[in-house]
Structure 1
Amino acid sequence: MSRAPAIPRSKTDDYTSDQARERREFLRVQTGAELSSAGSFSVDPQQLRGNIENFIGTLQMPLGVAGPLKINGEAAQGDFYLPLATTEGTLVASYSRGMRVISESGGCTTAVARHAMQRAPVFMLDSVLTAKRFGQWLEQNMTSIKAAAEATTRSGQLIDVEQYLVANMVYTRFNYTTGDAAGQNMTGKATFAACEWIKANCPFAPNYILSGGIDTDKKHSAMNMIRTRGKRVIAEVTIKNEVAKRLLGVDTQTLFRARQIANAGSIQAGSAYNGPHSANGIAALFIATGQDEANVAESHAGIAYTQLLDNGDYYWSVTLPAVICGTFGGGTGLPGQRQSLEMLGCYGAGKSDKFAEIVAAVVLAGDISLGSAVLAGDWVSSHEQYGRNR
């Protein structure tokens, strides 16, 4: 049986425009698809090492701007214009409306409450008693384990190691701070070094698998909702009743009643997020700024919480316990993505908390706009106006 031909690759330098052109021609012959649009790009292929393999070109993604959004955060402070990459009509307009409501209410307050990026190895022992003693040995040797892990990284620090015993196995979560990088690769390398040290020095001779599954990398989990993965971020705003009626077309009492109903529906459905739609804004902002888009799977989970205040104003908050983002490394250094981060003042060292606070503020703005549009009857009509290609 004949095999399909292999994709062309260069052993000397695979990141050139000529190599990309050769692969596009190969695909034209094999599939009949013309890839002329993908072949029109401004990025230097040499910049893509570590970002992609078998490079053939780029896809142009529509990039819009929303805002201004006033944020009074610990790290993010000022009026921001948000780059949002999307193909969904009405998204940018809707988020802009929510941002106006926040800004006219004096801005939102934001804070990063906790940092924790994990790798979660599982250690296999010969019995439950040995597994329990192994757990005690881990606690007694944390100083050496921490040193072995941190020797592999300049910015990562091992905070602690959680333990969960199941049968004759010890499931662990190595929790790190990772500076301005998202940190999945960093923590993987550091934890591998720590596990090798453990295997070489522990008298109980444990075998291990580097990931036992409870880090739930790029998957939502209840554990990450409680324990935090990446950054636990909160954004809050108090909306005046007058602002809600004028800009959203609904009063705060109606908003609060609808939130109670939506909460009951979210519980019934087992939703990862009980607000209107966190993933939309996170995905659009992540794509625009060079984040790993698969991290939306974890980052979108969270808790929307509201209060109808005695004076008729409306407290609205979002808590996102697993925002995974970075302002250094990965795709953040690519030219267009870097420029989007620079628009936010978020490129480079010391900026990841600022960016995470902006993410939470964007989610809050989207929730305010969509949640109100459903009540005011604007949801369908807005999509009819902005969201259809005629």
Structure 2
Amino acid sequence: MTTQPSPPAPSATPIPLRWVGPVRVSGNAATGEVEVPLATYETPLWPSVGRGARVSRAVPDGITATLVDERMTRSVLVESEGAAQCLDAVRTIDAKIEELRALTRTTSRYAELLAVRHEICGPLLFLRFEFATGDASGHNMATLAADTLLGHLLATVPGIRYGSISANYCTDKKATAVNGILGRGKNVTAEILVPRAVVSRQLRTTAAQVAHLNTHKNLLGTLLAGGIRSANAHYANMLLAFYLATGQDAANIVEGSQGVTYAADRDGDLYFSCTLPNLIVGTTGNGKDLPGVDDALQRLGCREDRPTGDNARRLAALAAATVLCGELSLLAAQTNPGELMKAHTSIERAQGARHDR
């Protein structure tokens, strides 16, 4: 008789979490001042984002977060005899779009088919379904709808056969050009215009220095490194901490951290923006009812009685604003020789001293 191994015990050491801010936010998805939760082992991240949050409160409108677009995607693969047959299939599928939209609605109360895009590679036809998914991030909702649509297409479109339910043209948890161009999840731009005096007093730099560094480091440095549709300093740091604190699928920072930082000197004032085309967040679904996560979403104002999708839109706007806070603070620090390492060393030594007591 064999015994099954016991499941591992829950971790006794949760990831350290702190609330930072408040961050002042305005825009079409969130307004007001709100503290944001960051779960991370990189303790210098908290004061860094905190500095960006203080800057946001020194500006009347704070950080303006504009939600530009939203869609969750799932791609499928079908096979045919050649490219001509694939093109015939595409034309048939395009003519069925309203039929496919009606079929999508049978799979979920919230799923809506927005578009079907395609890519032909010889005898292979890649179909990228794009869905609205309400307040859910939509991974499972999109896959269920895509599975239903694929079965229907195989039964009604001549000349195609099954390839795969997942075709890597979505693209899920991979850094790709297609996501940067077409978007996956929430597409949000966060921006702020920081007065010259605030740049000098709180960031200890100038607008010209930040813009100069952004061009040389984020744009040219990333180009030389071969970055894919991305030019930023460390979006992944803020996103991972925010995702873990709010119950998101942490692996989605792979595409989520694709984004572009823009900085300009406007007569001494600093215009600064972070564009994130792949923010995959939700306020309902797997993991969102865990006590700590539910508490965090409530405190963020993302459990309110709003039209479907608005809670997730608010969460995406707050995520983008948080990214801007950390990105702005880091770039400002890097304009001054030695500041970044000095801050890291002093903070980490202070943490170590507390643990030694």
TM-score by length of 2: 0.92
Q: Does 1:373 align with 2:333?
A: yes
> 3-state DSSP class of the match of 2:88?
helix
Q: Does 1:65 align with 2:19?
A: yes
Q: 1:161 aligns with which of 94, 103, 116?
A: 116
Are the equivalent residues in 1 in contact too, given 2:89–2:160 (CA < 8 A)? no
Query: Aligned residue for 1:271?
Result: 227
> 3-state DSSP class of the match of 1:75?
coil
Query: Aligned residue for 1:384?
Result: 345
Runs of 4+ in 1 over 6 A off after TM superposition: none
Q: Does 1:285 align with 2:245?
A: no
Are the equivalent residues in 1 in contact too, given 2:137–2:282 (CA < 8 A)? yes
Q: Does 1:324 align with 2:280?
A: yes
The number of residues matched between the two structures is 343
Determine the C-alpha separation between the residues in 2 that align with 1:367 and 1:229: 22
| Shift of residue 347, structure 1, vs aligned partner | 2.7
| Shift of residue 236, structure 1, vs aligned partner | 0.4
Q: Which runs of 5+ in 1 are unaligned?
A: 9-22, 25-37, 39-55
Q: Does 1:186 align with 2:173?
A: no
Query: Aligned residue for 1:7?
Result: 5
Query: Aligned residue for 2:289?
Result: 333
Q: Does 1:74 align with 2:28?
A: yes
Q: Which letter maps to 2:152?
A: W
| Structure with larger RCO (C-alpha < 8 A, sep 6+) | 2
Determine the C-alpha separation between the residues in 2 that align with 1:137 and 1:192: 18
Structure 1 residues 104-161: Cα deviation after superposition (integer angstroms, max 9, x where no partner): 1220111110111111011101222211111111011112222222211110100110
> 3-state DSSP class of the match of 1:238?
strand
Determine the C-alpha separation between the residues in 2 that align with 1:205 and 1:242: 64
| Shift of residue 342, structure 1, vs aligned partner | 1.1
What is the correspondence of 1:21-32 to structure 2 with a 5 Å cutoff?
A: 23-24=7-8
What is the correspondence of 1:335-354 to structure 2 with a 5 Å cutoff?
A: 335-347=291-303, 350-354=310-314
Query: Aligned residue for 2:164?
Result: 209
> 3-state DSSP class of the match of 2:286?
coil
Q: Which letter maps to 1:289?
A: T
Are the equivalent residues in 1 in contact too, given 2:65–2:321 (CA < 8 A)? yes
What is the correspondence of 1:118-137 to structure 2 with a 5 Å cutoff?
A: 118-137=73-92
Are the equivalent residues in 1 in contact too, given 2:114–2:132 (CA < 8 A)? yes
Q: Does 1:219 align with 2:174?
A: yes
> 3-state DSSP class of the match of 2:152?
helix
Change (3 A) 1:256 1:203: closer
Q: Root-mean-square deviation (CA), in Å?
A: 1.7
| Shift of residue 5, structure 1, vs aligned partner | 6.3
Q: Which letter maps to 1:279?
A: A
Percent identity between the two aligned chains: 31
Are the equivalent residues in 2 in contact too, given 1:328–1:347 (CA < 8 A)? no
Determine the C-alpha separation between the residues in 2 that align with 1:294 and 1:365: 22
Q: Does 1:177 align with 2:137?
A: no
Change (3 A) 1:383 1:347: same
Are the equivalent residues in 1 in contact too, given 2:210–2:263 (CA < 8 A)? no
Query: Aligned residue for 1:255?
Result: 210
Structure 1 residues 143-196: Cα deviation after superposition (integer angstroms, max 9, x where no partner): 222222221111010011001111012111000011000001100000100111
Determine the C-alpha separation between the residues in 2 that align with 1:239 and 1:283: 26
> 3-state DSSP class of the match of 2:335?
helix
Determine the C-alpha separation between the residues in 2 that align with 1:6 and 1:271: 46
Determine the C-alpha separation between the residues in 2 that align with 1:204 and 1:259: 51
Are the equivalent residues in 1 in contact too, given 2:183–2:278 (CA < 8 A)? yes
Determine the C-alpha separation between the residues in 1 that align with 2:162 and 2:37: 47
> 3-state DSSP class of the match of 1:314?
strand
Q: 1:240 aligns with which of 195, 218, 225?
A: 195
Determine the C-alpha separation between the residues in 2 that align with 1:338 and 1:322: 23
Determine the C-alpha separation between the residues in 1 that align with 2:303 and 2:173: 23
Determine the C-alpha separation between the residues in 2 that align with 1:385 and 1:218: 35
Determine the C-alpha separation between the residues in 2 that align with 1:314 and 1:236: 10
| Shift of residue 58, structure 1, vs aligned partner | 5.8
Change (3 A) 1:133 1:337: same
Query: Aligned residue for 1:47?
Result: none
> 3-state DSSP class of the match of 1:121?
strand
Determine the C-alpha separation between the residues in 2 that align with 1:218 and 1:152: 24
Q: Which letter maps to 1:362?
A: T
Are the equivalent residues in 2 in contact too, given 1:301–1:322 (CA < 8 A)? yes
Are the equivalent residues in 1 in contact too, given 2:74–2:171 (CA < 8 A)? no
Determine the C-alpha separation between the residues in 2 that align with 1:385 and 1:173: 49
| Shift of residue 213, structure 1, vs aligned partner | 1.1
Determine the C-alpha separation between the residues in 2 that align with 1:380 and 1:83: 24
Q: Which letter maps to 1:75?
A: A
Are the equivalent residues in 2 in contact too, given 1:146–1:194 (CA < 8 A)? no
